[in-house]
Amino acid sequence: MSDENTIIIPTEQLASAEKTTKKPAIKRGWIRAIIGLFLITILSSLSAILLLFTGTITLEMLKMSGNDSFNAMGINVMALVMLLQAVTAFLIICFLRRFIDKESVNSLGFSLLGYKTDLLKGLGWGAAMISVGFVALYVSGFITITNTDFIAVPWFGYLGLFLFVALFEEILVRGYVLTNLMASMNKYWALVVSSLIFSVMHLANDNVSILPTINLFLAGILLGIYTIHKRNLWFPIAMHFTWNFMQGPVLGFEVSGLKTDSFINQQIAGHELITGGQFGFEGSILLTVMMIAAIYYLDRKYKS
């Protein structure tokens, strides 16, 4: 005897539902994160081999320190190197998400729902934090503006460079690594681990020391706090971009130890604990305080 209220689901629909819940090829998310980090770091670095074959760059350039290598290559070649790394990283992640994670690339945080708002928020946060720091140091007498020169800056080259840097690092760290870590542990612990990885990635930078390393860890927390609550990469990508672009080409700070051409040419005076010294504003304790406050605010605002 049949019940007229009973809902019968066709076998085809049940089979389709099962297909959409495929289990990952590697069960542990933290293992997937390690494998992805290793493959992406190695293979994206090897993408520079293409430029070696064409003679665009040389082995000597790759052996130099960050600033020397940057000066030898020039802004356009450096931007091309970062473009190749970003594209390579994205292709590897597409492969890993499809065949290892059994998830979509969009699930890393690329949903287009409200992405314009997230982009604008990120652009504003990155530009505002660096600008506020600059103004504070300038008013306090730690920075003197020696001159300004808009024409001296190859703007398109720097726009490309820092956009590709933001894409590469955010897709890798806040995208693939953080997402897979969250599958294995509490999201806050996942954020801490991914931020440690982010800071370690910059240990080879010129003029790095203890405080800049701490600040880079906090920067990883700041860039990722929105992601763990909103599962969104548009905000950190945009914030990372304006953070770097405002620091270097606009305001004249070193960018994580890298000296760029800039619109504002500045001279710093005072203890490097305050100014950041030759590492740039990311080495300043003022930024430490600003980031801790920003992390607290964003966490309170966006956690569910």
Mind listing the pLDDT tens digit for each residue in 123-151?
999 999 999 999 999 999 999 999 999 99
- What is the reported pLDDT for 15? 44
Tokens of 291: 């980031």
| Phi, psi (rounded to 5 degrees) for 226 | -70, -40
User: How far apart (Å, rounded) are the C-alpha atoms in residues 251 and 12?
Assistant: 61
For the chain, the DSSP string reads: ---TTPPPPPHHHHHHHHHTTPPPSSS-HHHHHHHHHHHHHHHHHHTTHHHHHHTSS-HHHHHS-HHHHHHHH-HHHHHHHHHHHHHHHHHHHHHHIIIII-S-GGGGT---TTHHHHHHHHHHHHHHHHHHHHHHHHHTTSEEEEEE-STTS-HHHHHHHHHHHHHHHIIIIIIIIHHHHHTTS-HHHHHHHHHHHHHHTTTTSTT--HHHHHHHHHHHHHHHHHHHHH--SHHHHHHHHHHHHIIIIIT---BTTB----SEEEEE-S-HHHH-GGG-GGG-HHHHHHHHHHHHHHHHHH--
- What is the reported pLDDT for 21? 60
User: How far apart (Å, rounded) are the C-alpha atoms in residues 294 and 216?
Assistant: 14
C-beta separation of 126 from 242 below 8 A: yes
Indicate if the pLDDT at residue 105 is higher than 50: yes
User: How far apart (Å, rounded) are the C-alpha atoms in residues 1 and 242?
Assistant: 68
Determine which helix (DSSP H) or strand (DSSP E) holds 146, and give its type and residue range: strand 143-148
Residue with tokens 């994206």: 44
- What is the reported pLDDT for 194? 98
Q: In 30-77, which ranges are E strands?
A: none
User: How far apart (Å, rounded) are the C-alpha atoms in residues 278 and 224?
Assistant: 26
C-beta separation of 176 from 35 below 8 A: no
pLDDT tens digits, residue range 250-303? 999 999 999 999 999 999 999 999 999 999 999 999 999 999 999 999 999 998
Q: With a threshold of 0.85, does the pTM exceed it?
A: yes
CA distances from 259 to 48, 103, 247 (A): 22, 40, 10
**Residue 4: pLDDT band by 50, 70, 90 thresholds?**
very low
Give the percent of the chain with pLDDT over 90.
83
Torsion, CA 186, CA 189, CA 191, CA 195, rounded to 10: -160
- What is the reported pLDDT for 64? 87
**Residue 157: pLDDT band by 50, 70, 90 thresholds?**
very high
First vs last Cα of the chain: how many Å apart? 47
**Residue 1: pLDDT band by 50, 70, 90 thresholds?**
very low
